[in-house]
Structure 1
């Protein structure tokens, strides 16, 4: 299997499924927006300098930590889909450090395939929601979600197919630590906002079924398009659109979505 296939799926926060599943629909969920915005700030990579930061985060995770590809002399991980992508990052405010990144791969024409179309087309069994049914400019894929090791959990907590790092509990306050499991959620929300604001109506993603199930606890209901395949662990193709996203989002996480939307919508200039 080529390195490009290995890199299709981005690592997620270690044990995020267990952390989300344990959340009660209560005070913590209702206050996550406040905690998140106190310590974390989403940004769009609107210039070459910020895009280089995205590529460095990916290099740190995919090349240095996971060894999916050899370390590059320039310290940046890039691929053929970056030219047709928009990117978001989340910064840790107190340290002024970027914690993570995600991209939305778009398609302007038939020559610009999405990663899921190029590498996992056979996994999409739902004919009604197949990307070929929609205009190219209205489809996109969320991919390359990467979170630095210091903002994830212990390496001993890893599960098959996931990259798991460590949170240095001595470096962060208890309140900050409560936010970090939601970095992945924040990245998915940022990706959704980038998609909607740029005219995308149909979004695809390859992810672990356990993560998709966990997302339901906060009201993000991805539609599974086919059976899970052995692809760096069990991964399946999923679909979501803005109506599905907003219809089920729980009140506490709607607040988080609105805060993220407020931060990044004004940064989109295209």
Structure 2
């Protein structure tokens, strides 16, 4: 990478740190904002059939009770820019992770099936979502159920760091896995996202057949220890920032202690 390109990337990473904060959703208001964003993205925009009452403008499921919910917030506006959750297995549950019910019977790498590994070492990244306000500048306004949802207008300069939200959310998940002392990460994804993450050094392996589930998706796996080694050097400063923010917020979190004791 040439010096000018590396310099521009460092400036962009520093801008992301200035523009956004990382928040573990713990209060009722924070969790409500997380569920509202999930509803907005998955139910209203993508029209996924997730088996919930669409009259309630919140997207929730039974896995939320044993998950850590992470928000990326835009400092200037206070808007929720992105969300991701890390689901931990519930001991004794037949479907201990969300992916079990959808692709658990379709694994092509049996030795990496979640039920073949220690439950205290597995987790699943899921419900990754980015608000329409923080996507492409040319994203069209939406007209859903008779309600206009215009894209919030940001200047070109304000938008400079928005392209890092996806990798920022994954760095949040990676940090949470590290802080909870786990190793085996799963995610149900379309093939485009693993390819995007591979550019940052995170090489997911597909371990199930692809299925038609809210698009064509499969279960992907990554070893968290290997992910730490392979992370692109220019991301390490941002990762350290994310991990330090999360480590402070995770102190005293009862759920996490119960998982790592």
- For normalisation by structure 2, the TM-score amounts to 0.82
CA contact (8 A) 1:212 1:222 kept: yes
8 Å contact from structure 1 (residues 59, 71) kept in 2: no
After TM superposition, the structure 1 = structure 2 runs for residues 177-216 of structure 1, keeping only pairs within 5 Å, are 177-216=159-198
Does the 8 Å contact 1:105/1:140 carry over to 2?
yes
What does residue range 124-135 of structure 1 map to in structure 2 within 5 Å? 124-135=107-118
Question: Which gives a bigger RCO, structure 1 or 2 (Cα 8 Å, sep 6+)?
Answer: 1
Cα distance, 1:122 vs structure 2: 2.8
Pairing of 1:1-270 with structure 2 (within 5 A)? 26-68=6-48, 72-111=54-93, 113-153=96-136, 154-155=138-139, 168=152, 171-268=153-250, 269-270=252-253
Q: Is the 8 A contact 2:89 2:96 kept in 1?
A: yes
Taking structure 1 as the reference length, what is the TM-score of the superposition? 0.80
Give how far 1:155 is off: 4.4
For residue 174 of structure 1, give the secondary structure of its aligned residue in structure 2. Answer: coil
- How large is the RMSD of aligned CA atoms in angstroms? 2.3
The separation in 2 between residues aligned to 1:100 and 1:189, in whole angstroms, is: 12
Which SS does the other structure have where 2:16 is aligned? helix
SS in 1 for 2:91: coil
Is contact 1:63-1:71 (8 Å) kept? no
- The C-alpha deviation readout for 1:95-131, integer Å capped at 9, x for no partner, is 1111121111111313151011121113321122111
- Who wins on radius of gyration, i.e. which is larger? 2
TM superposition outliers: structure 1 runs of 4+ over 6 Å: none
The SS at the match of 1:256 is helix
Question: CA–CA distance in 1 between the matches of 2:97 and 2:156?
Answer: 40
Is 2:82–2:129's contact at 8 Å kept on the other side of the alignment?
yes
Gaps of 5+ in 1: 1-23, 157-164
Distance 1:123 1:29, change over 3 A: farther
